[in-house]
């Protein structure tokens, strides 16, 4: 696979073709995921739960993210690497600039921020300085205490309209990608149709430009309760590589997620 760029992803959207995203946190899995043809690797702060054993992403530090991003970069075989800025590492514009710069220097190709309109200034400045940004809307796990738990977002008309406005605003500010988590299918479809940048979904129905899952969820090795929006791609697979390729195929042919895996 030739190196994936933002131009690649934008071109896929324009052609109506979907792309795949999976998390990875180390060199070995980064090699497997990228070699299978997955266009983007997310070094997610979800590592706080799946690797570190926390009950949320909040304890994850910038140093943790730098360490795992560098490990992923060493194993990567051409996928684009997106790294999460962790909780309270971008509370001010100045802090955001410094934190994002460190992740880019460790091997990320773009950074992901959770939030809404308040992120516009930071996104604009990052973009001006050559740091591409993915804006994460909907269920934002770093705000789980304010949201009252892991709940579907944008269910009522006012909340849906606000999310649509936020998506447009953040695109105008310079966001290169959007990620929608746990939002109703019809809302995700409308946002995807009304922005020019690619939209990645997780628990957001089948109509986004791409899908992302936590690697451990789709391999069915996550302990505890499994999210509704995931699927066990290891079922009847003879290897991890086969499971990853099945996920990629299901995203691209539109068979994942199905109605039961959406809201």
**13 has binding-site annotation:** no
Q: For tokens 């880019």, name the residue.
A: 104
Cα dist from 139 to 6, 72, 93, 155, whole Å:
24, 25, 22, 11
Answer yes or no: is 260 a known binding residue: no
**Has 252 been labeled as part of a binding site?**
no
Active site residue 171: no
Distance CA 217, CA 234 (A): 10
Distances (CA, A) of 191 to 137, 140, 152, 178: 11, 17, 16, 9
Catalytic residue (one of 172, 181, 241, 261): 181
Phi/psi at 148 (5° precision): 80, 30
Residue 79 CA: distances (Å) to CA of 6, 113, 149:
11, 20, 32
Instruction: Tell me whether residue 114 is annotated as binding.
Output: yes
For the residues of 225-260, what is the DSSP string, one character each? PPPTT---TTTT-SSHHHHHHHHHHHHHTT-SS-GG
Residue numbers belonging to the annotated binding site: 45-46, 84, 112, 114
Residue numbers belonging to the annotated binding site for Mg(2+): 45, 84, 114
Residue numbers belonging to the annotated binding site for 3-methyl-2-oxobutanoate: 45-46, 84, 112
Active site residues: 181
């Amino acid at each position: 696979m030739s190196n994936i760029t933002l131009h690649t992803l934008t071109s896929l959207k324009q052609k109506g073709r979907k792309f795949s995203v999976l998390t990875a946190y180390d060199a070995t899995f980064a090699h497997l995921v990228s070699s299978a043809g997955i266009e983007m690797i997310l070094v997610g702060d979800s590592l706080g739960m799946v690797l570190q054993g926390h009950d949320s992403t909040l304890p994850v530090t910038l140093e943790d993210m730098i360490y795992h991003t560098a490990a992923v970069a060493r194993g990567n075989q051409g996928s684009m690497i997106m790294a999460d800025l962790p909780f309270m590492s971008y509370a001010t514009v100045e802090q955001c600039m410094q934190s994002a710069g460190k992740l880019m220097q460790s091997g990320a190709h773009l950074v992901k921020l959770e939030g809404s309109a308040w992120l516009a200034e930071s996104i604009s400045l990052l973009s001006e300085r050559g740091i591409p940004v993915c804006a994460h809307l909907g269920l934002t796990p770093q705000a789980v205490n304010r949201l009252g738990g892991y709940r579907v977002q944008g269910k009522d008309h006012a909340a849906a309209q606000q999310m649509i406005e936020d998506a447009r605003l953040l695109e105008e500010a310079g966001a290169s990608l959007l990620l929608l988590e746990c939002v109703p299918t019809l809302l995700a479809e409308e946002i995807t149709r009304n922005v020019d940048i690619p939209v990645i979904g997780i628990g957001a129905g089948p109509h986004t430009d791409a899908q992302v899952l936590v690697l451990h969820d789709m391999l069915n090795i996550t302990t505890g309760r499994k999210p509704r929006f995931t699927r066990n791609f290891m079922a009847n697979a003879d290897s991890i590589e086969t499971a990853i390729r099945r996920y990629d195929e299901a995203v691209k042919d539109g068979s994942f997620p199905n109605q039961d895996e959406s809201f």
